[in-house]
Amino acid sequence: MRRLCVFCGSSPGVHAEYREVAAGLGRLLAQRGIGLVYGGASVGLMGAVADAAQQAGGEVIGVIPRSLVDREVAHGGLSDLRVVGSMHERKALMAELSDGFIALPGGIGTF
């Protein structure tokens, strides 16, 4: 397995444990040599999983629609941030880049 896509929220979640688990997942993926594909935001659970994976030396690919770049605060610290035209393109590209999926707590977009 080369890469996993993680669907999660751009908010920190209802419980502090959600952020801790997201960060732990990011670290674990990096330690196992599995790249992370995710929604491209720098905030909330998305930011936690991406920052932890990146800090642990992992590959991180963010995919975000142009309409959400400012609203979800696109992660400017990624070496690979792909901006697409729509949510449909976002999910299609995330699927194309990934070998599997994990869903963490999130909102309607995660659902």
47-82 pLDDT tens trace = 999 999 999 999 999 999 999 997 768 999 998 999
Whether 111 maps to a domain, the answer reads: no
Chain segment 88-109, per-residue pLDDT in tens: 999 999 999 999 999 998 766 6
CATH code, domain with 17: 3.40.50.450
Domain of 71 in residue numbering reads as 3-103
Domain-located, residue 108 = no
Domain count, the chain: 1
Residue 109 lies in a domain: no
Give, in order, the Cα–Cα distances in Å from 12 to each of 30, 42, 77, 81, 110. 21, 11, 19, 21, 13
Q: What is the pTM of this model?
A: 0.92
- Structure confidence by residue, pLDDT tens digits, 2-25: 999 999 988 887 788 999 999 999
